[in-house]
């Protein structure tokens, strides 16, 4: 099975399971077990990620900006870094973790409990964007970027509440303290941060945001955009789960905003 993937990955990504089993001289369940043994959810997930990796044409190489770079060089490097990071995330991200996070947020929404977003510094801006995204869906939520406010708010959370903690480094003390308090009080904690960081292990659900960008160089770019993208994915998943009752609300909001624009 492994030899078939390596010899012709494009064909493997497009062939039906019956054909794959026949070419590998194994049963169809064995094909599925092979994909799961590689860390994927099944054949469909493996084929989707495989197709993306062989057709994207963008190598995952982080090209640092140099002091003598011309404007055109800066544009190419910044854009290439972002595109490559997004494509790698698409291929590596765990749909299971995203699904768990979306279900937790939906459950909190359905029970009328509190949804909060925590982040400091640059991640505090992402937390505010997340609050805005969910606010537009008719979901009452709040974002805190101050460490003292985060700790106080986390102290008031309880079972049924949900907090999303966003961090580039995964090592910010204020966020760690707030996450620990919220989880101790029974709230569901979703953390968006790098794998292997203390914060990644502190939450109930970890949404990995791995990238090659050092958080001590310049202003975070790729990391911030990746966090925003993950928030967009979560908001979209939750919106789809809310279903058709969301459409009249969004339509009315759009109509009411029309008067705020020049014709």
Q: SS3 breakdown of the chain: % helix, strand, coil, rounded to 5?
A: 60, 10, 30
Q: Is the pLDDT of residue 68 over 60?
A: yes
- Between residues 154 and 55, the one the model is more confident about: 154
pLDDT at 244: 86
Q: Is the pLDDT of residue 16 over 50?
A: yes
- Between residues 54 and 78, the one the model is more confident about: 78
pTM (predicted TM-score):
0.73
Q: What distance, in Å, lies between the first and last C-alpha atoms of the chain?
A: 60
Query: Using 50, 70 and 90 to split pLDDT, how confident is the model at 60?
Result: very low
CA quadruple 121, 123, 129, 135: dihedral sign: negative
- Between residues 202 and 39, the one the model is more confident about: 202
Q: Is the pLDDT of residue 10 over 80?
A: no
Joined tokens for residue 22: 């026949």
Closest to 86 in 3D by CA, of 216, 230, 255, 191: 230
What mean pLDDT value characterizes the chain?
87
């Amino acid at each position: 099975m492994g030899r078939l993937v390596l010899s012709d990955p494009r064909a493997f990504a497009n062939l039906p399971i019956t054909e794959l089993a026949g070419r590998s001289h194994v049963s169809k369940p064995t094909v599925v077990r092979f994909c799961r043994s590689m860390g994927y959810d099944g054949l469909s997930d493996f084929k989707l990620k495989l197709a993306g990796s062989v057709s994207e044409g963008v190598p995952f190489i982080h090209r640092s900006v140099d002091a003598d770079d011309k404007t055109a060089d800066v544009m190419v490097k910044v854009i290439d870094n972002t595109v490559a990071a997004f494509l790698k995330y698409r291929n590596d991200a765990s749909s299971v973790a995203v699904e768990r996070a979306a279900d937790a947020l939906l459950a909190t929404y359905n029970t009328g409990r509190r949804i909060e977003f925590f982040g400091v510094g640059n991640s505090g801006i992402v937390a505010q964007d997340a609050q805005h995204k969910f606010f537009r869906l008719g979901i009452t939520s709040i974002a805190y970027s101050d460490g003292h406010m985060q700790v106080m708010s986390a102290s008031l959370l309880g079972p049924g509440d949900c907090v999303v903690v966003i961090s580039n480094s995964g090592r910010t003390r204020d966020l760690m303290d707030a996450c620990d308090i919220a989880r101790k009080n029974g709230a569901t904690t979703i953390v968006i941060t790098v794998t292997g960081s203390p914060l990644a292990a502190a939450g109930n659900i970890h949404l990995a945001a791995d990238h090659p960008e050092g958080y001590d160089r310049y202003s975070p770019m790729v990391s911030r955009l990746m966090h925003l993208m993950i928030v967009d994915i979560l908001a979209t998943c939750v919106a789809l789960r809310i279903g058709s009752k969301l459409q009249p609300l969004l339509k009315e909001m759009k109509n009411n905003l029309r008067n705020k624009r020049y014709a």
